[in-house]
């Protein structure tokens, strides 16, 4: 199983963050766009692609698998609700690598039948970014997921800060995703540097 591009995985809501965070050294970024008119959505996705190439970023498109296929994305991330309508065969046939969100054992079992390239577990801690049907999982659940999925890459997400990141890696995550701790930081570029530095501690990297 191939490793993920980076141990840090910012999730962003606008292409400008691909330039800012990518320019600071982030190499694995998810673009999560919501509630945009089709033309604006396409424009923002294409702009993010351009910036990703410029800054050597592996860009993951959230949700919009048809657009990912059309525009030649390398990665797409799907939530459980997306699995109801996504054409997984077409995604795989085009060579796009697939990440899937999971929150409990039922969802994990479903995700594994899709043969994903990583599974994400969350929320590890409480998050206020969106209403969640599941409570905080805790880092112990990462260790549980690691035992179940073997060598399949595991992403931790939900309420994760710089201070909490290392505990997720030590518990079994291969990469740690966050939204607010990057795009809500006073100095986002410095935050990327701090995350990258911490990810190399205790022989993790």
Q: Of 7, 27, 101, 175, which is the active-site residue?
A: 101
pLDDT at 132: 57
Domain contains 181: yes
In this predicted structure, the answer to whether residue 130 has a pLDDT above a threshold of 60 is no
Q: Is the pLDDT of residue 117 over 70?
A: yes
Q: Is the pLDDT of residue 33 over 80?
A: yes
Structural domains of the chain, count: 1
Q: Is residue 27 part of a domain?
A: yes
Indicate whether 86 belongs to any domain: yes
Residue 127's pLDDT is what? Answer: 76
pLDDT in tens, 153-177: 999 999 999 999 999 999 999 999 9
Q: Is 89 a catalytic residue?
A: no
Report residue 204's pLDDT band, with 50, 70 and 90 as the boundaries: very low
- Nearest C-alpha neighbor of 3 from the set 155, 170, 202: 155
pLDDT of residue 126: 80
The residue-averaged pLDDT of 108-131 equals 89
- Within a domain: 2: no
81 has pLDDT over 50: yes
Alpha-carbon dihedral 58, 62, 68, 69, rounded to 10 degrees: 110
pLDDT of residue 109: 98
Give the Cα separation of 3 and 43 in Å (integer).
30
On average, the pLDDT of the chain sits at 94
Residue 198 counted as domain residue: yes
Known active-site residue 130: yes
- For residue 145, is it within any domain? yes
Specify the CATH number for the domain of residue 17: 3.20.20.70
Q: Spot the catalytic one: 32, 42, 92, 164.
A: 32
Mean pLDDT in residue range 90-119: 97
The answer to whether residue 1 sits within a structural domain is no
Residue 3 in any domain: the answer is: no
Domain span at 112: 8-203
Who wins on pLDDT, 130 or 151? Answer: 151
CA dihedral 121, 125, 129, 133 (to 10 degrees): 60
Query: Does 202 score more than 60 pLDDT?
Result: no
The residue annotated as part of the active site, out of 130, 131, 147, 186, is 130
* Residue 161 designated active-site: no
Q: What pTM does this model have?
A: 0.94
């Amino acid at each position: 199983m191939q490793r993920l591009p980076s141990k840090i995985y910012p999730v962003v809501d606008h292409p400008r963050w691909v330039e800012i965070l990518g320019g600071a050294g982030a190499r694995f970024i998810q673009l999560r766009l919501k509630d945009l008119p089709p033309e604006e959505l396409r424009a923002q996705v294409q702009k993010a692609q351009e910036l990703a190439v410029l800054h050597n970023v592996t860009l993951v498109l959230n949700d919009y698998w048809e657009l990912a296929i059309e525009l030649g994305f390398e990665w797409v991330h799907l939530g459980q609700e997306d699995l109801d309508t996504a054409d997984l065969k077409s995604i795989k046939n085009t060579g796009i690598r697939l990440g899937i969100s999971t929150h409990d054992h039922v969802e994990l079992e479903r995700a594994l039948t899709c043969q994903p390239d990583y599974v994400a577990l969350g929320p590890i801690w409480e998050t206020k970014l969106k209403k969640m049907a599941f409570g905080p999982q805790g880092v112990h659940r990462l260790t549980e997921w690691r035992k179940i999925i073997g060598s399949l890459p595991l992403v931790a997400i939900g309420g994760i800060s710089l201070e909490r990141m290392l505990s997720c890696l030590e518990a079994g995550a291969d990469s740690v995703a966050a939204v607010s701790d990057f795009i809500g930081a006073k100095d986002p570029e410095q935050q990327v540097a701090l995350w990258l530095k911490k990810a190399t501690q205790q022989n993790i990297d």
